[in-house]
Amino acid sequence: YAMLLSLIFLIVLVAAVVGFVFRHEIKTNFDCNLDLALKDYNVTGDRHSEAVDTIQRTLHCCGVQNYSDWERTEYFTQRGIPRSCCKSQDDCSEEDLKDLSKAKLKVFVDGCFFLVMSTMESKMSVVAGISFGIACFQLVGIILACCLSQYITNNQYEMV
């Protein structure tokens, strides 16, 4: 049992170190993937398009850096900016979404990349604290399992 807990503890420790060391690559990959998701955005509702819509609705943002990122997409030439960028769904017409100057007043102007990264960084201290707490419990479990094993071994020799 102590060996199993030690193995899990080492795996979690390695994952934390790798996440900390490669955090800049994570940001770069997220930026590239969000940009690709915008370029491949369509109305068929694939999972990438749904993810973009969810991020934009939840964080009140639009595009990668700002709302004008949609201008470089194929979706914009057909339908304009997606409705998930609208501040109010009732006040967003398709005509407004096809014109960037009108859309600026109707959609969220901030980009999603900065908001996602700032949200992740603000939650990292909570995640780190919880992880540290779990690691402490694992270490206590490892120590208690070793003590129990030692106690059982000592008692068997006394009985003989």
Q: What is the CATH number of the domain that holds 131?
A: 1.10.1450.10
Q: What is the pLDDT of residue 65?
A: 92
The residue count for the chain = 160
Q: What is the pLDDT of residue 56?
A: 92
Q: What is the pLDDT of residue 45?
A: 67
The structural domain count of the chain equals: 1
* Domain range enclosing 81: 1-158
Give whole-number Cα distances, 119 to 56, 64, 112, 115, 141, in Å. Answer: 13, 15, 10, 6, 33
The per-residue b/e assignment along 135-154, b for 16 or more CB within 10 angstroms, e otherwise, is eeebeebbeebeeeeeeeee
Whether 159 shows a pLDDT value over 60: the answer reads no
Whether 76 and 70 have beta carbons less than 8 Å apart is answered as yes
Q: What is the pLDDT of residues 116-143, one digit of tens each?
A: 888 888 887 787 788 888 888 999 999 9
Q: What is the pLDDT of residue 79?
A: 86
Whether 111 and 81 have beta carbons less than 8 Å apart is answered as no
Q: What is the pLDDT of residue 27?
A: 86
Cα(65)–Cα(68) distance, rounded to whole angstroms? Answer: 8
Q: What share of the chain is helix, strand, coil (3-state, %, to 5)?
A: 80, 0, 20
Higher pLDDT, 84 or 160: 84
Higher pLDDT, 105 or 19: 105
The per-residue b/e assignment along 1-22, b for 16 or more CB within 10 angstroms, e otherwise, is eeeebbeebeeeeeeeeeeeee
Q: What is the pLDDT of residue 108?
A: 92
Whole-model pTM: value is: 0.68
Copy the structure tokens of residue 14.
């390695």
Whether 160 shows a pLDDT value over 60: the answer reads no
Q: What is the pLDDT of residue 48?
A: 85
Q: What is the pLDDT of residues 36-82, one digit of tens each?
A: 888 888 866 678 888 899 999 999 999 999 998 998 888 888 888 99
Single out the residue of 26, 40, 41 nearest to residue 113, CA to CA.
Answer: 26
Q: What is the pLDDT of residue 12?
A: 84
Cα(123)–Cα(79) distance, rounded to whole angstroms? Answer: 35
